[in-house]
Amino acid sequence: MLLDRDGVVNQDSDDYIKSVDEWKPIPGSLQAIARLCDADFTVVVVSNQSGIARGLLDREDLRQIHREMHRQVEAAGGRISGVFVCPHGPEEGCGCRKPQPGLLLDVERSLGIPVAGAPLVGDKPADLEAARRAGCEPILVRTGKGAAAERDGTGIDTALVFDDLARVADYLISRGTDS
């Protein structure tokens, strides 16, 4: 299963998450990842990180943030099998920035995990559109920018909607499948 990072796993910020000190997990998200792992889901994070292109953080800052995310997820009993990032800005026209599907297809190529049919949990319409383009199951959470996206309604018509990652985990585990 694929998770957006900011707004799904950790608190989002309009000023970007630029350091380990700014990375704060959403209550219940780390435990949700652990429960998904216990249920044999492979958890992969896919995240646009244009703060790099904007010069707000560098790749080492991002590595430190991701080390802390891994550490906290592991302390909760879970595991993230990979973190895939688009470092480009929105104007660069790359194929990996969501809503383009390139980042998701990189997961498939790099980890050998089929993404078609896999759940992708996000909090923005771009996440859901990337899911559709890659053949994933789009799931919106109301955390992060998800509640605003739900109110707006643009691009969420075929997505399942849940309050947070913990409720997504409940649903997926009860359904009993990783795809």
Its pTM stands at 0.95
Average pLDDT over residues 77-106: 96
Positions marked active-site: 4, 6
Please give the domain boundaries of the chain with CATH numbers for all domains.
2-175 (3.40.50.1000)
Average pLDDT over residues 111-118: 95
Helices marked H in the chain: 29-38, 59-75, 102-111, 125-134, 146-152, 165-175
Q: How many CB atoms lie within 10 A of CB 167?
A: 17
The Cα–Cα gap between 152 and 86 comes to 25
pLDDT, position 179: 47
Burial profile 42-60: b = 16 or more Cβ within 10 angstroms, e = fewer: bbbbbbbbbbbbeeebeee
Task: Tell me the pLDDT band of 177, cut-offs 50, 70 and 90.
Answer: low
pLDDT, position 155: 83
Average pLDDT over residues 94-103: 96
Does residue 157 surpass a pLDDT of 90? Answer: no
Average pLDDT over residues 116-133: 97
Residue 82 near residue 47, CB atoms below 8 Å? no
